[in-house]
Structure 1
Amino acid sequence: MSGNTITQSATSSLSRAARELELKRGEFDLALHLGCVRTVPDEGGGGRRVTHAEIDRVRSDDGFPEALRERVKAVGTTEGAALMGVTAARFTRFARLGLVVPVKFYLNRYRAVVWLYLAEELRQFAADKQNVPLLSGRTPEGLRDQLEAGLDLRPRNWRGRHMGFLLRQTEDAWARAAVVASLLDPVQVAEIVRDPYERAYLNRFRPERASRGAPDSPAAHLVSRIMTAEDPDEISWLRADLGQALAEARELRPAPRPTPKASLSVATSSVAAPLVTPPPVVPRPGPTAREDRITMEESERPRRLLGWLRRRNA
């Protein structure tokens, strides 16, 4: 990109920006997630884009591209444990307790969840002197009790991190409310957003979820569980956040609604129509007229009969 004459407002698609920054797509997605590469809204409504100026800024950093790749390097349990100098079992305990936070996940071919962590954060954790007892000593009793009770904060911590990323990507109040709603069960959302038009409007801004197989497949259900809050305190917190975000969105602009039919009728009647002279109305004989005619005919019958008898006897 260097050497090209470009303007500040010129932008590149995300795929092209990844190539310009010499990153694989997964690395590039993490760079966006972590704020290493900043995006702007696409003026044409096509999502997010990266300005040429931003690409030049990142490329001018010291150690590019190796330093950037190191910042977005994600590792699994085995490699993460090696970086911290602990066993894989101890590393898993750290993750379940929330001491290290996953940055992404995927499902392997056995539909098992594989959590990935930032290598840079793991090195920082291991270098902190306050964490030395955790790295080599016995796990404190209180933490052991939580693990024995089944505590696993990995999904929850990932959701919190993911929500923060999505919120940083938008300034629109309705879109921010939709981000919070995306982590709640639809039943929870319906209890807070009772207006169906508001729920429909939120769905327009709902972040897309990564596809994991067919919609009704076991893999899709597993991913949906990871992406939906389950703990009561987490649900309570998200419900409160959604209520506040929704109030802010309403102040900004109301959710669109269909035009009332009454307004349409008034609008239609207000249009001048050409004057047409109606055809003359010819009254049709009703039941009364028919009865009168029958009565007259019946009264004439005796007179005609008497006249015929007189003529015959004459």
Structure 2
Amino acid sequence: MSGSTIAAPRHLTCAPSRAARELGLARGEFDLAVLLGRIRTVPDRQGGGGRRVERSEIERLRAEEGFPESLRESVRAVGTTEGAALMEVSAMRFTRLARLGLVVPVRFYLNRYRAVVWLYPAEELRQFTADERNAPLLTGRTPEAMRERLGEGLDLRARTWRGRHLGFLLRQAGDPWERAGALAAFLDPVHISDVIRDPYERAHVSRNRPGPPPNGAPGSPYAELAERIMTADDAEEVGRLRGDLAQAVREARAHRPAPRPAPCPPTPHADPPTPHADPPAPHPDPSPPHPGPSAPDAAHAPKPARGLLGRLRRRSSRTPGRRAVATGP
């Protein structure tokens, strides 16, 4: 494991905001210094997964000659006009050099006209100018092959920015899965699905996939611009990223398989409930039931008489030929 991924004890590190104050940098300058590799950070393994700066790193920077002005100047970023003045060329020539990928932007933003503004490290521009091999590009006529490519609409500023930002993300990655996520950050989801067929590996890479540099609310014009610039659109670049991602996933798989859901424990087999025996069906009575009076007949049937008269009638019905005795008043 590299030294950049070993977690230092928390009391020997400090948060980025504290480190920026101790180094005399604004937070934007500090972030740029980290991106350019001027300030080394370590993972915060004990407090939430962010990044921290070791006290020894702060002391190293403070001991450099010319601190803090030298540190601040090393992370200064300039736009086209200031960059052209720094290189002593016209703004048009500077833009051509940037579109050809000869000077690489480090940051971008959206101006009030919603136009992309690219920023370049001033120190790198000075180094480019000081290199004698670049003198023909700074004076005289631009080579014919370069002019033809520019005439075809070549503009490598977004691509060279992606290359720089990918290097930054790979330096920050702590394990092979994070490196795979860094590569996936520059590919369209369709390409990611095509390269990583396993859904669990794809989900794990997505969890480790960093988004564009934060600078704007989600759904804002800047966020949409950042998403577009972050996504590779050149066929050659896409092909290279796809190949690198496939290799990174193979290495990550060998390092540690992607997490998968635990298999469900088998459900114990329960014996089916014993069915209750149905009661035996009643045997039909072979003799048909005696039909009773129908409802109208039953309603008009004479009611039995009560009292002495009733007893006399019942007695007379049991003795044939005998007349009932009428009683007078």
- TM (norm. structure 2) is 0.80
- Which of 229, 232, 237 aligns to 1:234? It is 237
Shift of 1:300: 7.7
**Does structure 1 conserve the Cα–Cα contact (< 8 Å) formed by 2:179 and 2:248?**
yes
CA-to-aligned-CA distance 1:255-292 (integer Å, 9 cap, x gap): 1111223xx225xx49xxxxxxx9x986441xxx22x4
Q: Matches of 1:212 and 1:17 in 2, distance apart?
A: 21
Question: Which residue identity lines up with residue 142 of structure 1 in the other structure?
Answer: A
The aligned counterpart of 1:20 is 22
Q: Matches of 1:198 and 1:101 in 2, distance apart?
A: 33
The aligned counterpart of 2:60 is 57
RMSD between superposed Cα atoms in Å: 2.3
The aligned counterpart of 2:253 is 250
Q: How does 1:208-287 map to 2 (within 5 A)?
A: 208-261=211-264, 264-265=265-266, 269=268, 283-285=277-279
2:299 matched to 1:298? no
- Which of 80, 91, 96 aligns to 2:94? It is 91
Structure 2 portions without partners, runs of 5+ = 1-8, 291-329
The aligned counterpart of 1:67 is 70
The aligned counterpart of 1:30 is 32
**Does structure 2 conserve the Cα–Cα contact (< 8 Å) formed by 1:8 and 1:52?**
no
Q: Secondary structure at the match of 1:265?
A: coil
- Which of 172, 185, 188 aligns to 1:185? It is 188
Structure 1 portions without partners, runs of 5+ = 1-6, 271-277, 303-314
Shift of 1:149: 0.4
Q: Equivalent pairs: percent with the same residue?
A: 61
Relative to structure 1, the CA distance from residue 126 to residue 282 in structure 2 (aligned partners, 3 Å threshold; closer, same or farther) is closer
**Does structure 2 conserve the Cα–Cα contact (< 8 Å) formed by 1:8 and 1:53?**
no
CA-to-aligned-CA distance 1:202-240 (integer Å, 9 cap, x gap): 111111323454544443332211101011000000000
Larger radius of gyration: 2
Question: Which residue identity lines up with residue 13 of structure 1 in the other structure?
Answer: A
Shift of 1:178: 0.4
Q: 1 or 2, which has the higher helix percentage? A: 1
2:128 matched to 1:125? yes
The aligned counterpart of 2:154 is 151
Shift of 1:15: 1.1
